Structure 1
Amino acid sequence: MEQEVEVGAASMAQEKKRKKTAGVLPPDGGWGWMIVAGCFMVTVCTRAVTRCISIFFVEFQMHFARDYSGTAWIHSLVDCTTMLCAPLGSLIGNQLSCRVAVILGGFLASIGMVLSSFATSLEYLYLSLGVLTGLGFALCYTPAIAMVGVYFCERKALAYGIAMSGSGIGTFVLAPVVQLLIEHYSWRGALLILGGLVANLCVCGALLRPITLKEEEAFPLPVDSESGYSSTPLTSDQKETNSQEQKNSKQRCMHFMQDYHFLLMPDFLVLAGSFLFLASGCSLPFVYLVPYALDVGVSHYHAAFLMSILGVIDIVGNITFGWLTDRRCLKKYRSICYMAAVGMEGLCCFLIPLLRTFALLVPFSVLYGYFDGAYVALIPVVTSDVVGTACLSSALGVVYFLHAIPYLLSPPIGGWLVDTTGTYTATFFLSGFALISSALLLCTITVVRHCQRIQRNSLSKVSTTETCEAKQAEFYTAKIL
């Protein structure tokens, strides 16, 4: 009896030790804040550096004697490649680890920047800066963002707000620094130094310590006993090889089904459609705000200052909106807060054609910048609420993949509208319509689901009442008899 008690106590101790070392989600803090710091630097070295590439446009035009449209493809290719290859970053992060994906991406992005400093043509830059650097950014961006969702639960929105603010803060700091580097070292020297800065992505990747989630342990992959775990000994090397290949192929199929089963979820499909509308409209104000301000008579200095205001307020929106939606009273309504932020952005775009002075455009920059930062911080949170934490990395890869084509096509379409109509009104209306459509799509499905829930509750109450009445009738009948 004593031996059984000792064995039981030993097994319980081993179980407690196993739970401490694996499968336990850390509290919202501790090493999680180092993950936030690493993701913050990843957004600085990816999104902020991508925005600063536009500072090189004039230098590229003058050096290679090319027009604006040809030079603009560099920025479009970096943005498009980063989003288009986001699922590849998720795949590497799932198969190997997020740490490996970010370190590999940092190496590729740095090499692309360094090779770009030796460019001899725009086509060379399309490949080195547009494709290679964009691919490196893609491998870093999604896994780093997914790791924040793994380490945080209660304060997830605040953690994402801080992490995603690296884009705005990095743009605010790097933009004048890059201009100074170009003035002192030419565009080649500036790209070389930026390559060294981007190499710090490898350091950020080293911070991403992997952990095992409870839900990953709770749902192990089913393995068929015939696929390689049979107790019957194999009779030949050929059978053993075939059995091992079948086992590996089935395991890969199971892993893929587990990582991407959310693609069949109706809620995620609606969310994906909403993201397509969002990506089609959100980039147009960033591209055409300064040209519109110049067109209505605002000076160059004040037009550039509007973008600075928008970038700084974007940071405020990232952090404060994330903190607000983590409050107990708003945590259940994060999706509604997300819809409100996107809808307010759309309304701002509808109003901008009425704003024709610098004093009126400043409030637009403040409001648009704030709500832009708000919804950017909530995209991973809303996605996590729909698909769960275990599938967050794969889901974010698909989400950012959906941004790729709209990011590539919407600015040229907006420019075509300006050329055709002679004003910026149609372009901003297109942006507002796309953003409002994104919010309305989610709002509609939310209302439908709420009505279905009410109907189910009412039917269950009716069925419960009928069951109780039937039991009472049976009871009284039996009592009478």
Structure 2
Amino acid sequence: MAAPKRTLYISPPDGGWGWMIVAGCFLVTICTRAVTRCISIFFVEFQTYFAQDYAQTAWIHSIVDCVTMLCGLGFALCYSPAIAMVGKYFNKRRALAYGIAMSGSGIGTFILAPVVQLLIEQFSWRGALLILGGFVLNLCVCGALMRPISLKEDHKNLPEQDPVSKTPKEDLPPLSLCSPLLKECAQPCVCCSLQQEYHFLLIADFVVFATSILFMAYGCSPLFVYLVPYALSVGVSHQQAAFLMSILGVINIVGNVTFGWLTDRRCLKNSRYICYLFAVGLDGLCYLFLPMLQSFPLLVPFSCTFGYFDGAYVTLIPVVTAEVVGTTSLSSALGVVYFLHAVPYLVSPPIAGWLVDTTGSYTAAFLLCGFSMIFSSILLSFARLLKKMKTSQVQSLDKDPGPKLQLWPNGTVAYSVAGELDQKDGDSMTAGVPSYNT
């Protein structure tokens, strides 16, 4: 049977089947990120049943998050490709599409948090995990919605094939003495394609952005592990602690959609980078105030504020990545970005747990997370400022009509000697030629 022909799009369609891709990504984020966040509700159950301290129990959540971002296993096979597909189908409304797709994390947290608490009470933590496992099987349905798309820019950026690769398979002899030579020719082609696919790793903007991701990821992960235990430690009931997670999920949805819609407006479309670092910095600031909030009425505003800006910067991560590397390399760049989440996700909850065990308080853990996110924001701000200063310097040099200056090793400024001598020679020759009046 002949393979079905794919439509070649000049640019992303910004609609059509793209909305089904958004729906599929929405379900993927519910089944992956929301379920992972709900492990926080199991934290106290695990700690009580296995009789372990905070640092040991935190490894359960951190390993789930790490494997999701690091390997090609489990949730990782669904999460990164689904997010990359949305970027392929949308350009003008990319932030809004990502806002809707990533809001599945908040909606799932809002719905699943009280449900998981109820399941634990009715069926114990083992039965609750079995039911969640059955729910996660809906990822198979999400995969059926994903339809690859062919863009003109993808074909434009493909490396030209050599004559060997264009040769039809049936024209080649089954056994040839030239096969080792063909293998040697194919190896440079593979290296060239890999170099082109991951060329963004040498872009300075992407290196700075990737470095900031490490600090941001370190700060954002522990809250979803320790919010419920912290609330219980200050006297909040189990139902209210689970409700805090629901509030976090609901406001997360608002942050996803509204921030995505706002940054698609003409006034903010060129400032998505600034909006991203602003949201990350405010989440870090929220962390610094958390140790002072020791009652349910005070923790509710915290959950609202942190949840909103968490949804905001999560929406903008793929958008900012696309602005830095372009849509052609978006899938590979997102893979690298989410890969960089893995190490902080692995170590930050156990480190926070160790600080809680050592100090007997959550203050040191929350302050470290807050300063880590604030540093991530400051790093991006500083890099952006340096880039603007460099751009303005280059523009001013281009606009300067004066003679070019040369700096000698001793620091003095001199005009071009050769240019001056040429000019003097020209003047002397002109002076020596007699002028005739007609």
What TM-score do the two structures reach when normalised by structure 1?
A: 0.76
Q: Using the alignment, how far apart are the partners of 1:73 and 1:307 within structure 2?
A: 20
Q: CA 1:198–1:290 in structure 2 vs 1: closer, same or farther (change >3 Å)?
A: closer
The aligned residue for residue 445 of structure 1 is 383
Quote the offset at 1:426 in angstroms. Answer: 1.7
- Quote the residue 1:177 is aligned against: 115
Say whether residues 1:79 and 2:65 are aligned partners: yes
1:278-427 alignment runs, 5 A limit: 278-427=216-365
* Counterpart residue type for residue 336 of structure 1: I
CA distance in 2, matches of 1:29, 1:227: 36
TM-superposition CA deviations, 1:109-158 (whole Å, max 9, x none): xxxxxxxxxxxxxxxxxxxxxxxxxx220111100000000000011111
2:28 matched to which residue of 1? 42
* CA displacement, residues 400-453 of structure 1 (integer Å, 9 cap, x when unaligned): 111111111111211222233333222221111101110011101100010111
Q: Deviations over 1:146-194 (max 9, x none)?
A: 0000000011111101101111111222233344445555555544443
C-alpha displacement of 1:261 = 1.3
Partners of 2:301 and 2:356 in 1: how far apart?
24
Q: Determine the C-alpha separation between the residues in 1 that align with 2:198 and 2:236.
A: 49
Distance in 2 of aligned mates of 1:212 and 1:269: 28
2:38 to 39, 45, 52: 52
Structure 1's 374 and 226: CA in aligned 2 closer, same or farther, altered over 3 A? Answer: same
RMSD of aligned alpha carbons: 3.1
Distance 1:298 1:21 in 2: 56
Q: Displacement of 1:212 after TM fit? A: 1.5
1:371–1:332 Cα change, 3 Å:
same
Change (3 A) 1:82 1:215: same
- Per the alignment, residue 115 of structure 1 pairs with none
1:24 aligns with 2:10: yes
Asked whether the 8 Å contact 2:247–2:304 carries over to 1, the reply is yes
Q: Distance in 2 between matches of 1:280 and 1:379?
A: 15
Instruction: Say which is worse superposed, 221-230 or 73-82, in terms of deviation.
Output: 221-230
Cα deviation for residue 226 of structure 1 reads 6.7
Higher relative contact order (CA 8 A, sep 6+): 2
Instruction: Within 5 Å, give how 1:198-217 maps onto structure 2.
Output: 198-217=136-155
* Distance of aligned partners of 1:307 and 1:199 in 2 relative to their CA distance in 1, 3 Å threshold: closer
Unaligned runs of 5+ in 1: 1-17, 89-134
Pick which of 211-220 and 398-407 moved more.
211-220
Tell me: CA distance 1:228–1:240, structure 2 relative to 1, closer, same or farther (3 Å). farther
Note if contact 2:7-2:150 (Cα within 8 Å) is conserved in structure 1: no
Q: Residue 284 of structure 1: CA displacement? A: 2.5
Amino acid at match of 1:44: I
**1:265 aligned residue:** 203
Q: What TM-score do the two structures reach when normalised by structure 2?
A: 0.83
Cα distance, 1:43 vs structure 2:
0.7
Retained in 2: the 8 A contact 1:227–1:243?
A: no
The aligned counterpart of 1:126 is: none
